[in-house]
Structure 1
Amino acid sequence: MDDSGLYVTLAAALAAAGIGALGASLLRQSVILGYLVAGMAIGPHTPGFVADIPTVEDLADIGVVLLMFAIGLQLSFRDVRRVGGIALLGGGAQVVITLGAVTGLGMLAGLGWLPALFLGAVVSNSSSTVLSKVLADRGEIESLHARVALAWSTVQDFSTIILVVILTVLAEDGSTASLAGDLLRAVGLAVLYLAIVIPAGFVLLPRFFDLVARLGSTEVFTLSAVVVALGISLLAQLFGVSIALGAFVGGILVNRSDLSHEVLGQLNPLRDIFAGLFFVSVGMLIDPRVLLDAPALLLLSVAAIVVLKGWLSVGITLAFRYPGRTAVLTGAVLAQSAEFSFLLARLGTDTGAISSELFGVMLAAAAASMVLSPAVLAAADPLGRALDRRLRGRARPPGEAPDPGLANHAILAGYGRVGRVVHRAIRDQAIPVVVIEQDAETVAALRRDGVTVFQGSASNPVLLERAGIRTARALVVAIPDPLSARRIVTFARGANPAIDIVVRTHSESERAFLEEHGADEAVLGELELALEMSRHTLKAFRVAEPAVAAILARMRSRAG
């Protein structure tokens, strides 16, 4: 296609994605729903403008890579360790049982064994993005059921990658006689790829990103992160492994680096744009008329996601002797499907394993479960409390008490000449403090002194989240960059309305802006310097201390 065609297609797809995301946000729904509707609007099954599907899909492949890379980056092995066996054994059992049960139901509904297996795979996964948003909206992100569900979804992510390998072979193999051999070959190539990439990645990638970070160039850092994501995916393709698997593995490898949060923060804007194109491309393949032709299968699929998977998760959680309310809320928050489900559904259409009708049903069911998720969780709460009363006296699992983690602490953004003085004052009072600093040598020195420190830009929302912005009592913004300070203050006030924010600034206009947009106090450096020099001079002339204090107060009020 010529350049003008590519430009028109890209512009149309992005415009549709933007409009769809805006509409979904206004309706307080996931932007994924907006992307899907946008794709349907510019697809071949609806009237009006029709975007070029192959071009959008080529662009969407980049979105798949960046999306999977980011998911790997955000995997929390700490969450899995915190809840122990229920994540690995319970999450694994849920995937296997769901896969088998839904495959059986699909075959009873008249599907072939392979389409039914794809349906089971789509149903088996839950979205950490959706559940995190629903839990955050309810203020339950640090609850026990949130920790269990997040760890559970991490195990589901790993299982989905295995399913991608297996389903690809099953869908592309035309001869049952060679099926076992082809499957063994695919698994062998995947294992070989992992055997080469994982050791090399663990050794080289942290050092590589540390070296790039020392250059101090945001542009070079962002470009390096994109190159690593695309490069590892390309290497996977050379081994006959899915690019999605390669990108996911790449994200896991970079996750090991101290700078993983910085990589994620730099990639997030690109990921959001191209991931939007991926979901738009999925929406373009949906024929709305198909949904009207298969209402029974659609209802069955929604029931499998919300009811079957939800209550199965409740039963497994109870089997690990968790309280009734925790079990019910865990099942409720896992009763949805999202990113990986769309990836698996698209894999089915790309390989010809599923029909357009089943593809539309899968996506509609996944989307419906996302819409229903907040209501399902709200309805589950009274059920959980009732079950708790019936099961009172049961032994509770080890480690059930909430992990307080970071709470009532101070966050210090910037450890320069100003930041180090503030840090000394805070530590002298035995107040817990987390430092965010970009300079690698400073970070290394602080770690040697036992200071809790994150390396990267404090304007990175991912980094602020890891520093515990939602539970912190105070935030000190001691960096000289006014644009970064604005972003930090705006995000911090939105994430934690109760936090006390003090920020340094160098102009009256900037001071007014910061205090208007969330800072409790913006300290004008030159003004405080002038006041201290005035204090010293007045004391030299033996002006009484109360009079000095009054003079300085008047000077400060005039400056404000």
Structure 2
Amino acid sequence: MDGLSTTTLLILFIGLSTAAAMLLRAGCERIGTPPLVGFLLLGIGISTLDASVGVINVETEVGIELLAQLGLVALLFRVGLGLDPRRLLAKLPSASVIWLGNIAIAGLTGYAVAQWVLGLELIASLVIAVALTATSIGVVIPVWEEAGDLNDDAGTLTVDVAELDDISGIVLMALLFAVLPVLQDGEGNFWLSMGAAAGELVLLFTVFVTFCWLFARYLTPRLYRLLHRWERTPEHLLTVIALGAVIAGIAEVLGFSLAVGALFAGIVFSAYPEQVRSNGAYGLLYDFFTPYFFIAIGLHLDPTLILPAAGVGLVLLIAAVAGKLIGTYLPARLMTDRASAGLIAVSMVPRAEIAMIIAHQAYQLGPWALDAELYGAMAVVTLGTCLLTPPLLGRLLARSA
């Protein structure tokens, strides 16, 4: 491999990994497993191969990281695109009780286990707590659809709560990473510094949300009329994605992450989701880029630490499952019957995109925020919850039919 240029290595990596990712996607869908499981395992496999023969150099890693960031933007842009702020506001009175209960108990359970069972430091415990508040409705939606229950009361309530989880997970992530530098320094008046950091975040977040609202309210309708007049249908998508990338970049400039910006960029265009997905073009871009985010996570996992991380991962997996089951079931019983509450609770168990985004962002800050073993442990949580939940939910839905 020493005789190959960086460009050649990167092209080979893109070609081989994309082909492998598409085959894994098809295989995972055939056996009812979320494709992200296959992508994570692919990344781990490449990392193991690289540790043996050194197929990836430093320059190639830069290109892979760019692909991973584009995958992150594509992933959260799609999440935001599927959110309807008006519908969420209408459902807020019923869904908010379950949402608040499940993120509070899931977060507190994660923090308690990390701090007092695993003996982790404050910062790592907070990262894990925030990551475990999230869920992944995309893992269980196919199961609900196959059972024909997605549009029932329990199915729609599940989607509403999960969408609120997505938003709160990103907002909590933004708040966490705003105060982490203060926690790391630990100098001066702690609470004064914490308040100043949180206050600055709230101010900048208000500015950013206001900008997104104005863009969606006044510019987006005019933009679509202009695009329909001047561009062909596939070209609309590229312009919208380009503007979404600009919004994500603005969030990064303001001190947030690309993840926050990409989510709100999707929300900006959520009034016209079908036009963005026209001709299936967006689906192709999404399918191309998003695997690289999970492949990059697998690449960052040290193969020698996977087994040592399994023990910690198992403890966190138990905390992740218990936190969501208890935190969702108890408040859901106030809103619906026992069977529906159980279905909603099980549907909140998977941790995938948002949880790994939070872990990945913390891991990139350095070992003081999240070390390699804990990063691997969070991958175990993702793999475990995504593999266990769909078959269990499928049996519960069949039993309740």
| Kept in 2: contact 1:327–1:384 (CA 8 A) | no
| Matched letter for residue 131 of structure 1 | V
- Code of the residue aligned with 1:120 in structure 2: it is A
2-side partners of 1:172 and 1:54: how far apart? 25
2:350 pairs with 1:342: no
Once residues 75 and 48 of structure 1 are traced to their aligned partners in structure 2, the CA distance between those partners, rounded to angstroms, is: 44
The secondary structure found in structure 1 opposite 2:109 is helix
Describe how 1:529-544 pairs up with structure 2 within 5 A.
Answer: none
Q: CA deviation at 1:381?
A: 5.3
* Equivalent in 8, 24, 40 of residue 12 of structure 2: 8
- The Cα of 1:272 is off from its aligned counterpart by 1.8
Distance 1:383 1:84, change over 3 A: farther
Aligned match of 2:241 in 212, 217, 226? 226
Give, in angstroms, the shift of residue 48 of structure 1. 4.9
Paired residues, number:
382
C-alpha distance in structure 1 between counterparts of 2:383 and 2:310, whole Å? 15
List per-residue Cα deviations over 1:321-360 (Å, max 9, x = no partner).
x111111111111121111111111011011211110111
Deviates more, 1:365-374 or 1:91-100: 91-100
SS state at 1:34 partner: helix
Q: Determine the C-alpha separation between the residues in 1 that align with 2:70 and 2:342.
A: 38
Q: What CA distance in whole angstroms lies between the structure 1 residues aligned with 2:53 and 2:34?
A: 25
Residue 368 (str. 1) matches residue 390 (str. 2): no
Q: Does 1:271 align with 2:286?
A: yes
TM-score by length of 2: 0.88
Shift of 1:268: 2.0
Distance in 1, Cα, partners of 2:123 & 2:38? 30
Superposed CA offset, 1:42-90 (max 9, x none): 1256545644333211111111112111111101446535654231232
Report the Cα offset of residue 118 of structure 1: 1.4
- In the alignment, residue 300 of structure 2 is paired with which amino acid? L
- Residues 394-426 of structure 1: CA deviation (Å, up to 9, x unaligned): xxxxxxxxxxxxxxxxxxxxxxxxxxxxxxxxx
Q: Which has the higher contact order (CA 8 A, sep 6+)?
A: 2
- 1:198 aligns with 213
- The amino acid across from 2:276 in the alignment is V
Match of 1:103 in 2: 111
- Structure 1 residue corresponding to 2:163, chosen from 134, 154, 166: 154
Could you tell me how far apart the structure 2 residues matched to 1:376 and 1:79 are? Answer: 29
Q: Is the 8 A contact 1:122 1:340 kept in 2?
A: yes
AA at the equivalent of 2:32 = R
Equivalents in 1 of 2:123, 2:238: separation in Å? 40
Matched residues in 1 for 2:175 and 2:89: separation? Answer: 27
SS in 2 for 1:28: coil
Counterpart for residue 37 of structure 1: 41
Contact 1:332-1:373 within 8 A present in 2 as well: yes
1:380 is displaced (CA, Å) by 4.1
Instruction: Give the C-alpha shift of residue 136 in structure 1.
Output: 1.3
Offset from partner CA, 1:430-450 (integer Å, 9 cap, x none): xxxxxxxxxxxxxxxxxxxxx
**1:17–1:39 contact (8 Å) kept in structure 2:** no
Given that 1:132 and 1:141 are in contact with CA atoms closer than 8 Å, whether structure 2 keeps it comes out as: yes
Query: Structure 2: which amino acid aligns with 1:70?
Result: R
Query: Offset of 1:383 from its aligned partner?
Result: 8.7
Distance 1:197 1:143 in 2: 32
Mapped partners of 1:141, 1:131: distance in 2: 10
Counterparts of 1:382 and 1:67, CA distance in 2: 31
Asked if 1:68 corresponds to 2:84, the answer is: no
CA offset at residue 104 of structure 1?
1.1
Identity within the alignment, %:
22
Give the match for residue 358 of structure 1: 374
Q: Is the 8 A contact 2:77 2:262 kept in 1?
A: yes
Structure 2 residue identity aligned to 1:285: H
Aligned residue number for residue 430 of structure 1: none
Q: SS of 2:148's equivalent?
A: coil
Q: For 2:159 and 2:112, how far apart are their aligned partners in 1?
A: 28
Deviations 1:344-380 (CA, angstroms, capped at 9, x unpaired): 1101101121111011111111111111112321454
1:544-555 maps to which residues of 2 (within 5 A)? none
More strand by share: 1
Aligned residue number for residue 526 of structure 1:
none
Partner of 1:480: none
Contact 1:62–1:274 (CA under 8 A) maintained in structure 2: yes
C-alpha deviation, 1:207, in angstroms: 1.6
Please tell me the root mean square deviation across aligned C-alpha atoms, in Å: 2.3
- The match for 2:124 is 115
Q: 1:197 to 1:147 in 2, by over 3 A?
A: closer
Q: Which amino acid aligns with 1:372?
A: L
Q: Which amino acid in the other structure matches residue 255 of structure 1?
A: S
Contact 2:32 2:390 in 1 (8 A): no
Alignment CA distance shift 1:77-1:303 (3 Å): same
Report the secondary structure of 1:179's partner residue. helix
TM-score, reference length from structure 1: 0.64
Could you say which residue in structure 1 is the equivalent of 2:226? 211
Which of 241, 252, 263 lines up with 2:256 in the alignment? 241
Q: CA deviation at 1:144?
A: 1.7
What SS class does the counterpart of residue 255 from structure 1 fall into? coil
**Distance in 1 of aligned mates of 2:51 and 2:27:** 19
Q: 1:163 — aligned with what?
A: 172
Separation of aligned partners in 2, 1:166 and 1:210:
37
For the residue of structure 2 that corresponds to 1:335, the secondary structure is coil
Which moved further from structure 2: 372-381 or 57-66?
372-381
Q: 1 or 2, which has the higher helix percentage?
A: 2
Matches of 2:84 and 2:383, distance apart in 1 = 25
In structure 1, the gaps of 5 or more residues are: 386-560
Distance, in Å, in 1 between the alignment partners of 2:74 and 2:397 is: 36
Q: Is 1:331 aligned to residue 345 of structure 2?
A: yes
- Work out whether residues 145 and 326 of structure 1, in 8 Å CA contact, stay in contact via their aligned partners in 2: yes
1:235 and 1:294, CA in 2 relative to 1: closer, same or farther beyond 3 A? closer
